[in-house]
Amino acid sequence: MTKKSYFLRGIRDGMPIAIGYFAVAFALGIKATAAGLTALQSALLSLLNLTSAGEAAGITLLGAGTTYIELAFTQLVINARYLLMSCALSQKIAPKESILHRLLVGYGVTDEIFGVSAAQETPLSPYYSYGAIAVAAPGWTLGTLLGAVMGNILPTRAVAALGVALFAMFLAIILPPARKSRVIAGLVAISMAASAGLTFICQHFSLTWFTEGFRIITLTVVISLGAALLFPLKETEEVQDDCN
Tens-digit pLDDT profile for residues 89-147: 888 898 888 899 999 999 999 888 998 998 888 888 999 999 999 999 999 999 999 98
How many angstroms separate the CA atoms of 17 and 218, rounded?
25
Domain ranges of the chain: 3-173, 181-244
Q: Which residue has the higher pLDDT, 158 or 242?
A: 158
What pLDDT sits at residue 47?
A: 93
How many angstroms separate the CA atoms of 136 and 109, rounded?
11
Enumerate the H helices of the chain as residue ranges.
3-34, 39-48, 52-63, 68-78, 81-90, 99-107, 111-118, 126-150, 156-162, 164-180, 182-204, 212-230, 237-243
Give whole-number Cα distances, 11 to 58, 117, 204, in Å: 29, 12, 42
Cis amide leading into 177 (omega within 30): no
Would the pTM of this model clear 0.85, i.e. be above it? no
